[in-house]
Amino acid sequence: MTKIVEVKNIKIGGGNPIVVIAGPCVVENYEITYETAKRAKEVTSELGMPFIFKSSYKKANRTSLEGFTTIGEKIALEILSQIKRELDIPVLTDIHSEAEAEMAAEYVDVLQIPAFLCRQTELLIAAGKTGKVVNIKKGQFMAPEDMKYAAEKVASTGNDKILLTERGTTFGYHNLVVDMRSLPIMRSTGYPVVIDATHSVQLPSIGGKSGGRPEFIFHIARAAVAVGVDAIFLETHPEPSKALSDAASQLKLDYLYDLLYQVKQIDELVKKFEQASVLK
C-alpha cells in the first residue's frame, strides 16, 4: 500500500479511488484550455472520479527549433490560475528550471518534472522546496527501480508529497514500450504511481516532431489500471490534429467519457482484490 498524497481535497494512493490528471498538452489560448477543463470536470464529476487539470504553460523539450513553446509564460500561467479559480479544480503544470519552480508554484498545485529532466538534482530540490506536490515522470532511459533516487532528492527537502509517473521506455529508434512490471516496481518505493497513457503511445522524433499511435491509448490505460496504479494521466484536446503540441498522441476529448468509464470499472475491481490481500 502506498502513502497518501493530498492535492487540495483529493487523496492519491493508499487504496483510494483512481485519480484523473487530464488536459491539453500545452496552453494554446484561454478558450481551448477552458473548454477542455470544463468538459473534463463534467465527465469526472458524472463518473464520481477525482480530477486534477493538466496543461503545460511552456514546452521546453521540443524535437525541433520550430516546435511551439509557449504563448508567453506569465500569460499561460495566468490562464491556468484563472481556470483553477473559475472551475474550482487543482492544476498541474511542467517546470524546467529552478527559477520556473518558484514562479509556477505561485499559480498551480502540482509541479511536474518532465521525463528528460528527472535526474536533474537542482530542479528536483527546487521543486521540493516549494512545498507543492511534485510529479516526477520516469525518464525514457531510466530503470523503474532507479526512480527512488529521484524521489529521494525531492524528499531531502522535507517534502514527501511525491508522485511517480510511467510514460514508456525507449525501444530502439522512434518508439516507446510500456513495461507493466515498472508499475509495481515503482510502487514499491511507497509513493503513488501514475500511468501516462498518452505519452506512452508516442513515436518520438519522427521528421522533426513526435508522432503517435493514439489508437492504443485505451489499451495502455486499461492494462496499467489492471496492474494497479493510483492515477491516470491523459493529454486530451477537442481537436488533436490541430493541437500545437503532441498532436499525434493526444486523446480526442469526445472519447474521454468512454475511456474513464472503463478505467473506473477496472480500478474498482482491482482495489477489491488489493483490499482482500491486505485483509489476509
The pLDDT tens digits of the residues spanning 125-160 come to 999 999 999 999 999 999 999 999 999 999 999 999
Each residue's pLDDT tens digit, 164-214: 999 999 999 999 999 999 999 999 999 999 999 999 999 998 777 889 999
- pLDDT over 70 percentage in the chain: 99
For residue 1, pLDDT beyond 90: no
Average pLDDT over residues 25-41: 98
pLDDT at 160: 98
pLDDT at 79 over 70: yes
Residue position matching grid coordinates 498524497: 5
User: Nearest-CA neighbor of 230 among 71, 91, 52?
Assistant: 52
Number of domains in the chain: 1
Which backbone phi and psi does 76 adopt, to 5 degrees? -65, -40
Percentage, residues of the chain above pLDDT 90: 91
Predicted confidence at residue 280, as pLDDT, reads 58
Q: What is the pLDDT, as a whole number, of residue 142?
A: 97
Does residue 120 have a pLDDT over 70? yes
Q: 63 falls in which pLDDT band (50, 70, 90)? A: confident
- Is 198 in contact with 168 (CB distance < 8 Å)? no
Containing structural domain, residue 81: 5-279
For the cut 80, the answer to whether the pLDDT of residue 279 exceeds it is no
- Beta bridge mates, 6: 11
We report the CATH number of the domain holding residue 10 as: 3.20.20.70
Q: What is the DSSP-derived secondary structure letter of residue 110?
A: E
pLDDT in tens, 214-272: 999 999 999 999 999 999 999 999 999 999 999 999 999 999 999 999 999 999 999 99
- Residues 6 or more apart whose CB falls under 8 angstroms from that of 266 comprise 222, 225, 226
